[in-house]
Each structure stands twice: as C-alpha cells, then as structure tokens.
C-alpha cells in the first residue's frame, strides 16, 4: 500500500509543494513545528533513511540545505534545524524547520491547526526565495 507521502507526490492528496525534482520533493508539514516547516521526501518509497542509495541520501541533504537557506532568509530564525525520525510515516523524510532553540524540534509542540491561509503564504514566500536563489525546481 502506498504511503501518505506517495499519495501526496502522486497528487492523490493535496500538498503545499515548494520543490520538485526527479529524486525528491519538498512540501510544508500539515502540523508544523514552526512556520515554514518543510518535509524533504524522496520520490522512491524507502522506509528507513539508512536504506537510501548514497546518491539519493546526498541529494536529500543538498535539497534540505537549499530549503533551509530559503527558510533562513524568509523567517529569520536563529537556526535551521533538521531531523529524521521516520516513526509516523514509513517513508523517509527530512524535517527542515526554522528554530530559535532545541525545544522548537519537539513534536509535542506541533500545530495541527495552522491556518490554510498562513501555510499558503509561507509556501509562497519559500517558493519566491528559492526562485530568487536561482532554483528552477521550485514548484507552484
């Protein structure tokens, strides 16, 4: 059975995409830890990040860094945090999150009620920053 992320990538479920290329996509989390919280997800449905092909793992990190640079520009956090958990969805994904401190990466603080309007605005700001950095892979 396809993961929820595979369904989002296929367009069967909605997603606020900010990046699409042949290897991966990035879209905003539906329960963000902070505004601009993005998930970088390989198109291939690989359960554990340890099982990624090394080239794909490197590519996910490269895209995460590009997303993080855009987040830094747009949201002006202290840092950009990143975590790979894989407990909630059995499809590798990197959480890339604008943070002020370590508690900002605590999933008990996720906001499952973020407004659609604010998330749409955050996605468009990230897309604009990524375009400004010269990335043609920007989605939307």
Sheet order of strands, 79-83 included: 17-20, 24-28, 38-42, 94-99, 79-83
Which residues does residue 26 pair with via DSSP β-bridges, in sequence order? 19, 40
Question: What confidence score (pLDDT) does residue 1 get?
Answer: 79
CB of 66 closer than 8 Å to CB of 135: yes
The C-alpha atoms of residue 103 and residue 28 are separated, in whole angstroms, by 19
Query: Given this model, what pLDDT does residue 118 score?
Result: 96
Helix (H, G, I), strand (E, B) or coil at 17: strand
User: What's the chain's length in residues?
Assistant: 140
The domains of the chain are located at 4-132
* 4-132 fold: HIT family, subunit A (3.30.428)
Query: Region 86-100: what's the mean pLDDT?
Result: 95
Task: Write down the pTM of the prediction.
Answer: 0.96
What does the pLDDT read at residue 35? 97
| Interatomic CA distance for residues 66 and 62, integer angstroms | 6
Q: Which helix (H) or strand (E) holds 74?
A: helix 54-75
Convert the pLDDT of each residue in 13-44 to its tens digit.
Answer: 999 999 999 999 999 999 999 999 999 999 99
């Amino acid at each position: 059975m396809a993961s929820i992320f595979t369904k989002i990538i296929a367009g069967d479920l909605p997603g606020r995409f900010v990046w699409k290329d042949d290897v991966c996509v990035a879209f905003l989390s539906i329960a963000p830890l902070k505004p601009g919280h993005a998930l970088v997800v390989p198109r291939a449905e690989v359960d554990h990040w340890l099982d990624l092909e090394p080239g794909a793992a490197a590519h996910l990190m490269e895209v995460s860094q590009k997303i993080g640079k855009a987040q830094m520009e747009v949201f002006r956090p202290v840092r950009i945090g990143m975590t790979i958990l894989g407990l909630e969805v059995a499809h590798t994904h990197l959480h890339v999150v604008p943070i002020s401190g370590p508690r900002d990466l605590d999933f008990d603080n996720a906001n499952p009620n973020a407004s659609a309007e604010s998330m749409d605005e955050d996605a468009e700001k990230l897309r604009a920053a990524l375009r400004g950095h010269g990335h043609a892979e920007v989605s939307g």
